[in-house]
Amino acid sequence: MRQPGGEPPGSARLELVDGVVLLRPEDTVVQAMLRGWEAQQIGGRGLRPSSVRDRLGVVRRFLTYTNEFPWCWTPAYLDEWMVELVSHSGRAKSTIRNYQDAVRSFCNFLIQPEYRWVAECEARFGTHPAQICFEWNTLAHLADYEGKADRRPMTRGELQRFFDHADAQVELAVRRRRKGALAAYRDATLFKVMYAYGLRVREATRLDVTDWYRNPKAPELGRYGNLEVRWGKASRGSPPRRRTVHTVMPWIVEVLDDYLTNVLPRYGFPEHPALWLTERGSRVLPRSIEQRFVDYRIALKLDSALVPHCLRHSHVTHQIEDGVDPKFVQEQVGHRYASTTAIYTGVSGDFMNTMMRNALDKAFQPDRAELR
* Catalytic positions: 200, 233, 309, 312, 335, 344
Amino acid at 199: L
How many Å apart are CA 121 and CA 77, to the nearest integer? 20
How many Å apart are CA 123 and CA 38, to the nearest integer? 23
Those residues with Cβ within 8 angstroms of residue 191's Cβ, 6 or more apart along the chain or in another chain: 162, 163, 166, 289, 293, 308, 311
* C-beta of residue 15 within 8 angstroms of C-beta of residue 43: no
Pairing of strands 226-232, 241-246: antiparallel
76-85 long-range contacts, CB within 8 A, separation 24+: 77/132, 78/103, 78/132, 78/133, 78/137, 78/138, 79/137, 82/137
Q: Taking Cα atoms as reference points, which of 279, 311, 307, 283 lies closest to residue 295?
A: 307
* C-beta of residue 63 within 8 angstroms of C-beta of residue 78: no
Q: Which class for 16: exposed (0-12), middle (13-18), buried (19 or more C-beta within 10 A)?
A: buried
How many Å apart are CA 273 and CA 266, to the nearest integer? 14
